[in-house]
Amino acid sequence: MTNVPTVKLNNGVEMPTLGFGVFQVPDLSQAEQAVTDALEVGYRLIDTAAAYQNEEAVGRAIKNSSVNREDVFVTSKLWVSDFNYKRAKAGIDASLQKLGLDYMDLYLLHQPYGDTMGAWRALQEAQKEGKIRAIGVSNFYADQLKDLELTMPVKPAVNQIEVNPWYQQDQEVKFAQSEDIRVEAWAPFAEGKHDIFTNETIAEIAAKYGKSNGQVILRWLLQRGITVISKSVHKNRTDEDIDVFDSEL
Q: What pLDDT shows up at residue 2?
A: 87
What's the confidence (pLDDT) of residue 136? 98
Mean pLDDT of the region 25-52 = 96
Percent of the chain exceeding pLDDT 90 equals 95
Point out the catalytic residue in the list 52, 113, 167, 209. Answer: 52
* 85 tagged catalytic: no
The C-alpha atoms of residue 32 and residue 106 are separated, in whole angstroms, by 20
Residue 200 CB contacts under 8 Å (≥ 6 apart), including other chains: none
Is residue 11 very low, low, confident or very high in pLDDT (cuts 50, 70, 90)?
Answer: very high
* Sign of CA pseudo-dihedral 113, 14, 240, 244: positive
Q: What is the mean pLDDT of the chain?
A: 97
- pLDDT of 47 > 90? The answer is yes
pLDDT tens readout for residues 150-189: 999 999 999 999 999 999 999 999 999 999 999 999 999 9
Which parts of the chain are beta strand (E)? 6-8, 14-16, 18-21, 45-47, 73-78, 104-109, 132-138, 158-162, 182-186, 227-230
Mean pLDDT of all residues in 20-25? 94
Provide the pLDDT for residue 233.
Answer: 87
Span 54-89, pLDDT tens digits? 999 999 999 999 999 999 999 999 999 999 999 999
pLDDT at 39: 98
What pLDDT shows up at residue 1? 83
List the Cα angle 225/25/74 in 5-degree steps.
Answer: 45
pLDDT of residue 80: 97
Confidence (pLDDT) at 232: 87
pLDDT at 26 over 90: no
Rounded CA-CA distance 55/26 in Å is 10
In whole angstroms, give the CA distance from residue 129 to residue 131.
Answer: 6
